[in-house]
Amino acid sequence: MSATSLLLLHTWGGDARTWAPALRFLCAGGRTAEAPDLPGHGDRAAEPFTLAGAVERASAHTADHLVDRPADRPADHLADRPANRPADHLADRPADRPVDVVGSGLGALVALALARQRPGSVRSLTLVGFPPASGPAAAGRLAETEERLRRAGTAAFARSYVDGTLRGPDPARRELLRRSMAATRPRTLLDSLRATLGWADDEPPRPPGPPCLVLRGAYDERVGADAAQTLAGQLGGTYGVVPGAGHVAYLDEPEAFAAVLADFHHGLDRAVAGPAAVAGQAGRSGTEPVVPVRHSSDPPTRRSPSAER
């Protein structure tokens, strides 16, 4: 179990509570984590979404005030507490400490921007379900999403999106994302989607500074293996796969997702500790590839080719 705290940034249309199924695995052994709501999402739904605002929101959680979870408190309760805890007066708090930042979809965009702007506050970076579509495909997806929101409304759109995106059959996990997206204003969904789809318009991919893992679900129909592997190379990072998962890997296969992250973070721990601290761990090194291992007992479901993409 790594001693470095986790900062978890949710997917497009999600909120902090969508991390609840994964938290019990990510925080096994007492690891600490924060899963804030990004502007326009969850308890911050009234706020407009901007990338600058989202980065500012995330950066508040790199300060040394991450929640230390009591050993007898279930980790998934972290996502049930209010995610909009005040982050003012940070100047009066202890200096920043590096965290392991994990972002999915929209959260990956925010995580990448955070790592570039505040590299000293980020020990490692994991981008999940990234990069998004670009060029004509991006423009087409934005226009299609805007039209579907206009015709169907947010609640119906959310139901269709979740049914076409999540692979796992667990209705509770589906309800977490559906409820969050249905409560998100259409303008927020469009503004955050536009920012995500235009992620490389102003700045080409380049190494963000901290060690980077580009991770995708094995059945992600939005982000192909070639695109994710190319991005990993551009960022000087590692490519990994979550078996059985689709686009929102942390909801589809939370245990397998946590296992892949643990391999990545433990490799960083061993690299910092040095050879003497890892003597006797034959076959293990800080540069070993991420090995995807399927842990979840939830069988993947088949998706219709016409499902929302």
Query: pLDDT value at position 168?
Result: 85
Q: Mean pLDDT across the stretch 193-211?
A: 84
Task: Report the C-alpha gap between 52 and 56 in whole angstroms.
Answer: 6
User: pLDDT of 135-163, one tens digit each?
Assistant: 899 999 999 999 999 999 999 999 999 99
Q: Tokens 């034959």 label which residue?
A: 282
Q: Return the pLDDT at 265.
A: 95
What single-letter amino acid sits at 296?
S
Matching residue, tokens 């911050």? 44
Host H or E run for residue 101: strand 99-104
**Which one has a higher pLDDT value, 282 or 104?**
104
Structure tokens at 38: 């990004």
Give CA separation, 94 vs 6, 65, 90, in Å. Answer: 18, 8, 8
Return the structure tokens found at 178: 């559906």
pLDDT band at 282 (very low <50, low <70, confident <90, very high): very low
71 has pLDDT over 90: no
Tokens of 268: 């960083």
Instruction: Say what the pLDDT of residue 36 is.
Output: 96
Helix and strand tally (H, E) in the chain? 10, 6
Query: By the 8 A CB rule, do 28 and 122 touch?
Result: no
Q: Which two tokens stand for residue 112?
A: 């990448």
Assess contact for 24 and 76: CB atoms under 8 A.
yes
| pLDDT over 50 (residue 69) | no
Q: Where are the alpha helices (DSSP H) in 186-299?
A: 186-197, 225-234, 249-252, 254-273
Q: What angle do CA 242, 62, 25 make, to 5 degrees?
A: 35
Question: Please, which pLDDT band fits residue 274 given cuts at 50, 70 and 90?
Answer: low
CA dist 303 to 50, 100, 165, 307, Å?
Answer: 32, 33, 8, 7
| pLDDT exceeds 60 at position 198 | yes
Q: Which residue has the tokens 């939830």?
A: 298
CB-based contact 35:77 (threshold 8 Å): no
